[in-house]
Structure 1
Amino acid sequence: MRKLFLYLLLMVGLSTQAQQRYELNTGWLCTNIIETNANGNQISNRGFALNNWLPATVPGTVLTTLLNNKKVPDPFYGMNNEKIPDIYKTGNDHYTYWFVKDFDEKVSGNEQVWLQFRGINYKAEIFLNGKKVNAQTHVGMHLRAKYNITKLLLATGKNRLAVIVFPPGFPGNPNGGQGGDGKIAKDLTTQYTAGWDWIQPTRDRNTGIWDKVTIEKTKGINIQNPHVVTLVPGKRLPDAKQQPATIKVSVEVENPTGRPISGVLQYEIAGKVVKKNVTISAANSEIKLPDLTLENPKLWWPSGYGKQDLYPLNIKFICANQVLDRENLTIGIRQIDNIWNERTQSMGAYVNGQKIFIKGGNWIISDAMLRFSDARYDAEVRYHKDMNLNLIRIWGGAILERPEFYNACDKYGLLVFQDFWFSGDCNGRWVDPLKKEDQWTRRNYPDNHPLVLTAVEDQVKMIRNHASLAFWCGGNEITPPEDILGPLKNEILPRLDGTRKLFDFSNSDEMSYNTIGGNGDGPYGIQDPKSFWAVKTFPYNSEVGSVGVGDYESLERFIPQENLIAPQFKSKPDSVWDYHKYIGYDQYINPYGKAKDAKDFAMKAQLVNYDQYRALMEGFSNKMWDWYTGTIIWKTQNPWTALRGQMYDYYLDPNACLYGLRKGSEPLHIMMNPLDSMVTVVNNGLTDRNNLMVQAKIYDMDGKDYFYSQVFNSIGASSVRRFFPMNDFLKKLDKKDGVFVSLKLLNEKQETLSENIYWLADNEGNYKGLQDIKSASLKVTAIEKSKGKIEVSLSNANGNPVAFFNRIALMDAVSGKRILPAFYDDNYVSILPGESKTIMVEYTGSPSDVALEVYGWNVERQRVNIR
């Protein structure tokens, strides 16, 4: 018993000696450099008065701080961005700011204290308690900085940190080009801030302490940059008993004490502990621990293919029964490989030995002003899972995404294709009269190549342990300069990672052999839905896109009432629509009837949205493994209030793009080829599906149904099967008004596995029947099943026409505003006569009273109370 007591006491002692880490994310003050003549030594002294300094947002940018202090209008609303001075005209001093933070911290015993910056844009000098912290100026947006401040802390524990932040030295002229005049790329910073075809310029170019500031306390030893590799050999199946996996762990250990320290370095995972006796000299050491063979591991799979099982992995350094430092990770056990597909002439992605058909979305950045949060990352990545996508590509003109983004991708099963910081537009791929310098000069941007290589090493270490990180990419549409690409490809990534494919650039032949010619990506505008089925494009397209205007409630959030005017076909849109980068819907709205006003336009735009993105993914899936190994949509989210390329708006309100894409991307999906009316089923799963019933019906505008066919059959794993054509049958029907086609895929219990409803135009290509369709009275009930989860039932009586294209929106019953974000397992749904549909809605937050709003094409808007 005494031994047990001593053991428990020892364990308590070990657990209480945990690493201490906290953020400095409140209580900051700031002032413009023009407002003070004092230097950093003076300002970082607590006796220095900070009268009239502004409350500062850290992490955040100068522009965010000014907005939060109501010094500038919201740049995302209307034309407000034009009212904010641009750094190109004001000069850099206008956005050069001092940031100050008072904090309490003192040292005792063998403690070491570290100050860590995860991102500063662009240059910084750092002072603490009257002393300079950084011997050399911090330079570079995409670079962490760590300083041992143990000897600079005051014995009283009352400390002051002062940081002066300078903008990029080359903010560039935002002259309307992609990245303005291109000079923004001379520094290692975010290129989009000089403006692009989907965003207006960010006036301060994201100057500021834009990412987390952290204080960490250790007991003499500092564990940093752990590296975990998981090897999963062979071809695996989800939910099966697994053969062993291998876990390989290494860490960097820093000893700042000036004397060697001996102890035990260990890691623990799944109840297994791996140890190594080590002595750390007065320097940094990289230590490899023994490999672990893990029996029957729970594997991590991309969304749609299996579960996303994750393991906590804890690393400790123990000396004399005391934990000197620890690092806690969460890892997924999986292996990602790439195998060239000779038939498609493109790269194939494999996870745990299984080929994955890539259904991806392009991502810029969560917020153009870098206002990141765990909750926003979680919601945005969850929306991508809800679209039935399995990959997100991070575009090269922004950042290497934050660990919090990767946490969400690990959780929801989104593979990540991560570009480095280069773009064809700024970095010289094309002749561009809007650029300040010629192609050869721009080809060598950024100016400081050693800084790029330093940043690459640092950022790779920051995110390499995430299961979701699948591929590296040298740049968007162009490689980095050769003296960067060479070390990146041949030395840095093999040394620091060694497990992931590096594509030289985003549309390179090694990713997708582009025999068709052209740049290897696009098109980007609205297209005839049939084209996605009929036109063979690049076999693994990194960018193919369309439109994305939100519904009327979305437009109201950022377009002033006087500018809410329906865009007209073949005419220049209203100035605010134009400023927010509207792409014309042109002839695709008119078949539904010319838009009467902005509200009518927004509703009809949703029909186009749904049809576009459903057809896009259906067309690519139809030629899975024949023409294509995958496709990546340009783009699926917006970091500001743009009117293009988004499945949900900046405020996290989804539109019909999301649900059309969700439908077309279903892992098991029934669909109709618009070229020959062939009913087809796609199985993205890893197992055969047997004893399936394929059913097709047609409904006219009055709701009368015409039964066509149903057959029992099966479909193999990861394959496409064509079942029967409907062309002749459709031709026999009177199509003067158009018809609805209803497809269902049922299992032997007659449960619906997939359903799909198409609306077909009349013989002249118009939707006259939809314009004249009678109203349908839809019965709606909503029941709260648990906190934050609501079950919605929609019922359409026999004798009604189809209740067509119904939007469900959760709202705050008091304010009447939508609850955002909210997650619907389906939306913009059509209910057939005599049928019902159940939809689950989930949301976070705590509104005082929740209600539901439902409206459709031929269904009156109604509000329903939650029971």
Structure 2
Amino acid sequence: MARRRTARLAPRLVPLLCLAMALPMSAPVPARAGDPPADALAADVLAVDRPGGVSTIPNWQLQSAAADPSPGEEVSRPGYRAPGWLRVSARSTVMAGLVENGRYPDLNYSTNLRDAVDPADFRVPWWYRRDFLAWPRSGRHTFLRLNGGVISRGEIWLNGERIAGSEQVAGAYPAQEIDVTSRLRRGRNALAIKAMPGDPNHDLTVSFLDWSPSPPDNNTGLWRDVQLGTTGSVSLVDSRVASNLALPGMERADLTVTAEVRNNTDRPLRTVVSGRIDSIRLRQEVELRPRETRAVDFAPDAFPQLVVRHPRVWWPAQLGDQPLYRLDLSARVDGDLSDERATTFGIRDVRAPLTPQGYRQFEINGKPLLIRGAGWASDLFLRTQPGRLADQLRYVRDTGLNTLRMEGKQEDHELLELADRMGVMLLPGWECCTKWEKYGTWTDADHVVAGASAKAEARRLREHPSVIAFLIGSDTAPPARVERTYLEAFRSVGWRAPVIPSAKLLSSPELGSSGMKMDGPYWWVPPNYWYNDRLGGAFGFASEVGPGPTIPELDALRRYLSPAEIEDLWRNPDKRHYHLAQKEVFGTLRLFARAMNLRYGPPSDRDDFLRKAQLMNYEANRAQLEAFGRDFSDPVRPATGVIYWMLNNAWPTLYWHLWDHNLSPAGSYFGAKKALRPLHVQYSYDDRSVVLVNTGPEEARGLTVRSTVFTVDGAVVADGTAADKAVGSGSSVRTLTTPPPPRGTHLLRLLLLDAEGREVDRNVYWLSDRADELDYANSTWWHTPITNGADYTGLRGMPEARITTSTRTEHGTDGTLRTTVTVRNPAESGPAAFFLRANLRRGPDGEQVLPVRWSDNYVTLWPGETAELRAEYRADDLAGARPHVEVTGWNTARVG
């Protein structure tokens, strides 16, 4: 991640900011001739004067061009009076700015997003403007930098002059750097950016497809930081580190450092480029012609110190640590610092060959790896939310997912840096279904924007070890000219990770087959669907599949649905729901409700509907991820990867997520978390086998598997044991087969014990003698219907069980708390306490504490069994209340 040392300016700025990046804030700063006056306004941005310094422009003023029709010559004039303009953050789309200023009621709630916002407000351009102070010095060059495009197009004005037009500032992704040295005034300056209305059908921009309603502004505005940077006569335009890791032993890595340097003057210059990586020192003198840009390479054959012995190797979280290195580069002219930049990188090897069957198989550091990931959704208004990003990536780590697919919204540097540190792999790429894949409508100008987009994103993503590939197509593969444009752009900046032509099983002229499939489903299917060798079943690499509707619990629903809308979920499932997709096939719960009625019986009331929904979400999500885990090592039809569709939501919806928009985990989350345990025992819906799956870094030996079948009344029907079992890293092994099912509904408990008899894993299934019958003949791209459902109606008659609980809370580090609830079924005999849900609240009957990471949930305990469930969360999220745990269950009274 090549980034200059950046200062994000606080609202209260010291006047001598031009020195602040060179001296500690606590050190006295001597006054110099030409420094800004001591009475400079604290809210003003000061152009950074120190070579290599960069400041992010904060606190823009925002206004509609319809509300203020003044021309750019006036809006960009220093001191322009702007009554009624809004103040917005450093980067902000128009809608994000309006929400930030409280212009609307809660747009997450009910139909407010549709009813409280007038789309006509966004059919006109919007202005961003900012006054700032600059004190140019001789020999310094100041650059205006856009780290991504202006959505969808923009004009840039400085001090009354247009310095870039919409033909240059086009598309969401192309980066811009404009030398504004000659246009700066001493003292007050003004910058204005005019953002043109976004239209994903006509511009290479950002869209949310069928993930949610479209943002009313189509994300018009500044979605990435705008910065001012200063260098001397030579600039470091780019820097990168390519690592060649010796496999299989990983005992050495050969590093190649590239610095792209530019002469900003009209005279030839000699510059000294110096670098440092840990104890490695680099130095090279370079002659530059006037205005020349040149790549300066430091290769191991000329710089043997770049051969690193026993390197610290980056791994995904499930397989190892995430060490990072830092490259510091500087350019000096006549002994004086001209520019500097820092690049953080990781040493790892990533490859993605095709298996003999034609499936895409990722290998990290020489180790074949099953990709079990999910589709990432950015915030609907592209708001900057580093804390929320961190919370969601902690959930990713907690579930055991290893990859995020990012379709067309690669976020900004915050998510990339978190993924690097937390060991979460990323699969970025362009999005489907908009201008990006309407290749027949592209003009020559679109090809230019596409190439600039690819170059900018490749440069931005390139050094992040978490990024393991780039998909240049999603639902289609690009034609020859487009593919060539992308690949030339990637090669020009030293991209080394795999490039994949499509997320669908398609081929492109140069890259060949994608090795991925996109055959659905996107809507509800039963657990046994995933164990079939058709469509989205567990074979090959499924780039986006999932069982669709994901109904949150009541606490979460009340945050964004009205009481009437909640009632409609179960009373009127055929009704179009605004918080379902706007696409017609995903607009109702009709198919979900039909499956519930067939399998569990019609819901008797709201609460019965919601608890059955959690059962359906849990079983479907667990089965999808378990099926791919079992068949990863299948020699005939290996399952090489699966991307659950989706991880999270851009806006609160009732489908496609593992946790709801308020970060509340429920049945989907815990079903996935159960399936993704690194050493796991699981049941196969196709052949009744009990399988050990190991996605951890080491082989596991001396394991014992116990399988017990119970009636819903608690009687033991069958018991089996398989002892002294071993399973290698990244593989699975069948251990035993359960007997034919007894009549009606029954429960299956699987236990995994280590060599000392300690419980390593526990897994409970509710099963039936009647299988879900799939109607493949009537499958669509989004759904495979069932003609008959498994019989789980026996769960309705489970006898009541009683549980006891006790809790304790301990203080962790960094303001975190850990609350442990011990749940026990104290009976000597009788039924299990089924599907027990622990909730952490702010005091009795208070709101849920969110986000929270539970060690397990929705557990089932037979008589005499005990479970400890641990919740980790921030103390501040208690809002001053005491932590309170309540436990509810399918056949138990609420406790707590």
When normalised by structure 1's length, the TM-score is 0.86
Q: Which residue does 2:362 correspond to in 1?
A: 349
Q: Which residue does 2:205 correspond to in 1?
A: 189
Count of aligned pairs: 801
Structure 1 pair 602/122, CA: closer, same or farther in 2 (3 Å)? same
Does 2:560 correspond to 1:558?
Answer: yes
Structure 1 pair 859/323, CA: closer, same or farther in 2 (3 Å)? farther
Does 2:97 correspond to 1:103?
Answer: no
How far apart are the structure 2 equivalents of 1:221 and 1:713? 64
Following TM superposition, by how much is the alpha carbon of 1:571 offset from its aligned partner in structure 2, in angstroms? Answer: 4.7
Q: Which residue does 1:753 correspond to in 2?
A: 760
Structure 1 pair 512/615, CA: closer, same or farther in 2 (3 Å)? farther
How far apart are the structure 1 equivalents of 2:388 and 2:451? 30
Q: Name the SS for the 1:808 alignment partner.
A: strand
One-letter amino acid of the structure 2 residue matched with residue 746 of structure 1: L
Q: Which residue does 1:789 correspond to in 2?
A: 817
Structure 1 pair 267/755, CA: closer, same or farther in 2 (3 Å)? farther
Following TM superposition, by how much is the alpha carbon of 1:321 offset from its aligned partner in structure 2, in angstroms? Answer: 5.3
- 8 Å CA contact 1:789–1:840 kept in 2: the answer is no
Q: Which residue does 2:462 correspond to in 1?
A: 464
Cα shift readout 1:338-360 (whole Å, capped 9, x = no counterpart): 22211x43121111111111112
Cα shift readout 1:672-708 (whole Å, capped 9, x = no counterpart): 1123322111122343221112222344445556653
Q: Name the SS for the 2:77 alignment partner.
A: coil
Q: Which residue does 2:8 correspond to in 1?
A: none
Following TM superposition, by how much is the alpha carbon of 1:623 offset from its aligned partner in structure 2, in angstroms? Answer: 1.5
Aligned ranges for residues 310-459 of structure 1 at < 5 Å?
310-319=324-333, 322-342=336-356, 344-363=357-376, 365-395=377-407, 398-421=408-431, 423-424=432-433, 441-442=440-441, 444=442, 448-459=446-457
Question: What's the RMSD between the two structures over aligned residues?
Answer: 3.0
How far apart are the structure 2 equivalents of 1:282 and 1:818? 63
One-letter amino acid of the structure 1 residue matched with residue 214 of structure 2: P
Structure 1 pair 138/440, CA: closer, same or farther in 2 (3 Å)? closer
Q: Which residue does 1:542 correspond to in 2?
A: 543
Structure 1 pair 849/260, CA: closer, same or farther in 2 (3 Å)? farther
Aligned ranges for residues 742-781 of structure 1 at < 5 Å?
742-761=749-768, 765-781=791-807
Could you list the runs of 5+ residues in structure 2 that have no partner in the other structure?
Answer: 1-19, 25-49, 301-305, 771-789
Structure 1 pair 747/319, CA: closer, same or farther in 2 (3 Å)? farther
How far apart are the structure 1 equivalents of 2:318 and 2:530? 22
How far apart are the structure 1 equivalents of 2:844 and 2:342? 43
Does 2:193 correspond to 1:160?
Answer: no
Structure 1 pair 46/302, CA: closer, same or farther in 2 (3 Å)? same
Structure 1 pair 602/828, CA: closer, same or farther in 2 (3 Å)? same
Following TM superposition, by how much is the alpha carbon of 1:811 offset from its aligned partner in structure 2, in angstroms? Answer: 3.5
Structure 1 pair 451/115, CA: closer, same or farther in 2 (3 Å)? same
- 8 Å CA contact 2:702–2:754 kept in 1: the answer is yes
Following TM superposition, by how much is the alpha carbon of 1:574 offset from its aligned partner in structure 2, in angstroms? Answer: 5.7
Q: Name the SS for the 1:35 alignment partner.
A: coil
Following TM superposition, by how much is the alpha carbon of 1:189 offset from its aligned partner in structure 2, in angstroms? Answer: 1.0
Following TM superposition, by how much is the alpha carbon of 1:572 offset from its aligned partner in structure 2, in angstroms? Answer: 1.1
Q: Which residue does 1:679 correspond to in 2?
A: 690
Cα shift readout 1:765-821 (whole Å, capped 9, x = no counterpart): 124245433132231313124131304132214317433323333333499333332
Q: Please, which of 718, 722, 730 is the counterpart of residue 730 of structure 2?
A: 718
Structure 1 pair 521/513, CA: closer, same or farther in 2 (3 Å)? farther
Q: Please, which of 144, 153, 164 is the counterpart of residue 115 of structure 1?
A: 144
Structure 1 pair 596/117, CA: closer, same or farther in 2 (3 Å)? farther
When normalised by structure 2's length, the TM-score is 0.83
Following TM superposition, by how much is the alpha carbon of 1:74 offset from its aligned partner in structure 2, in angstroms? Answer: 3.7
How far apart are the structure 1 equivalents of 2:766 and 2:214? 40
How far apart are the structure 2 equivalents of 1:839 and 1:741? 21
Q: Which residue does 1:493 correspond to in 2?
A: 490
Following TM superposition, by how much is the alpha carbon of 1:648 offset from its aligned partner in structure 2, in angstroms? Answer: 0.9
Cα shift readout 1:540-580 (whole Å, capped 9, x = no counterpart): 11121113221111111111122211534895136445567
Following TM superposition, by how much is the alpha carbon of 1:211 offset from its aligned partner in structure 2, in angstroms? Answer: 1.5
Following TM superposition, by how much is the alpha carbon of 1:372 offset from its aligned partner in structure 2, in angstroms? Answer: 2.8
Aligned ranges for residues 78-157 of structure 1 at < 5 Å?
78-84=110-116, 87=119, 92-93=123-124, 96-108=125-137, 110-119=139-148, 120-134=150-164, 137-156=168-187
Structure 1 pair 483/86, CA: closer, same or farther in 2 (3 Å)? farther
Higher mean alpha-carbon deviation, 255-264 vs 627-636, is at 255-264
Q: Please, which of 224, 229, 232 is the counterpart of residue 211 of structure 1?
A: 224
Does 2:251 correspond to 1:243?
Answer: yes
One-letter amino acid of the structure 2 residue matched with residue 66 of structure 1: L
How far apart are the structure 2 equivalents of 1:105 and 1:771? 76
How far apart are the structure 2 equivalents of 1:466 and 1:702? 54
Could you list the runs of 5+ residues in structure 1 that have no partner in the other structure?
Answer: 1-11, 172-183, 237-241, 429-438
How far apart are the structure 2 equivalents of 1:714 and 1:831? 27
Structure 1 pair 84/623, CA: closer, same or farther in 2 (3 Å)? same
Q: Please, which of 491, 503, 506 is the counterpart of residue 500 of structure 2?
A: 503
Following TM superposition, by how much is the alpha carbon of 1:147 offset from its aligned partner in structure 2, in angstroms? Answer: 2.1
One-letter amino acid of the structure 2 residue matched with residue 793 of structure 1: V
- 8 Å CA contact 2:429–2:473 kept in 1: the answer is yes
Q: Which residue does 1:432 correspond to in 2?
A: none
Following TM superposition, by how much is the alpha carbon of 1:662 offset from its aligned partner in structure 2, in angstroms? Answer: 1.6
Following TM superposition, by how much is the alpha carbon of 1:319 offset from its aligned partner in structure 2, in angstroms? Answer: 4.5
How far apart are the structure 2 equivalents of 1:321 and 1:812? 61
How far apart are the structure 1 equivalents of 2:475 and 2:868? 44
Following TM superposition, by how much is the alpha carbon of 1:633 offset from its aligned partner in structure 2, in angstroms? Answer: 1.6
How far apart are the structure 2 equivalents of 1:603 and 1:445? 53
How far apart are the structure 2 equivalents of 1:642 and 1:601? 17
How far apart are the structure 1 equivalents of 2:406 and 2:697? 27
Does 2:599 correspond to 1:572?
Answer: no
Structure 1 pair 348/852, CA: closer, same or farther in 2 (3 Å)? same
Q: Which residue does 1:663 correspond to in 2?
A: 674
- 8 Å CA contact 2:430–2:473 kept in 1: the answer is yes
Higher mean alpha-carbon deviation, 715-724 vs 64-73, is at 64-73
Structure 1 pair 739/166, CA: closer, same or farther in 2 (3 Å)? same
How far apart are the structure 2 equivalents of 1:210 and 1:155? 29
Aligned ranges for residues 509-658 of structure 1 at < 5 Å?
509=506, 520-536=518-534, 537=537, 539-547=540-548, 548-568=550-570, 571-573=573-575, 575-578=577-580, 581-583=587-589, 584-590=591-597, 591-626=599-634, 627=637, 628-658=639-669
Structure 1 pair 320/845, CA: closer, same or farther in 2 (3 Å)? farther
Structure 1 pair 319/446, CA: closer, same or farther in 2 (3 Å)? closer
How far apart are the structure 1 equivalents of 2:338 and 2:184? 20
Structure 1 pair 702/48, CA: closer, same or farther in 2 (3 Å)? same
How far apart are the structure 2 equivalents of 1:233 and 1:724? 40
One-letter amino acid of the structure 2 residue matched with residue 604 of structure 1: K
Following TM superposition, by how much is the alpha carbon of 1:281 offset from its aligned partner in structure 2, in angstroms? Answer: 4.0
Cα shift readout 1:96-149 (whole Å, capped 9, x = no counterpart): 111122233323354332222223112222222333333665222222222223
- 8 Å CA contact 2:207–2:214 kept in 1: the answer is no
One-letter amino acid of the structure 1 residue matched with residue 53 of structure 2: Q
- 8 Å CA contact 1:121–1:165 kept in 2: the answer is yes
Higher mean alpha-carbon deviation, 606-615 vs 14-23, is at 14-23
Higher mean alpha-carbon deviation, 286-295 vs 274-283, is at 274-283
How far apart are the structure 2 equivalents of 1:826 and 1:275? 54
- 8 Å CA contact 1:693–1:711 kept in 2: the answer is yes
Higher mean alpha-carbon deviation, 585-594 vs 810-819, is at 810-819
Following TM superposition, by how much is the alpha carbon of 1:315 offset from its aligned partner in structure 2, in angstroms? Answer: 2.1
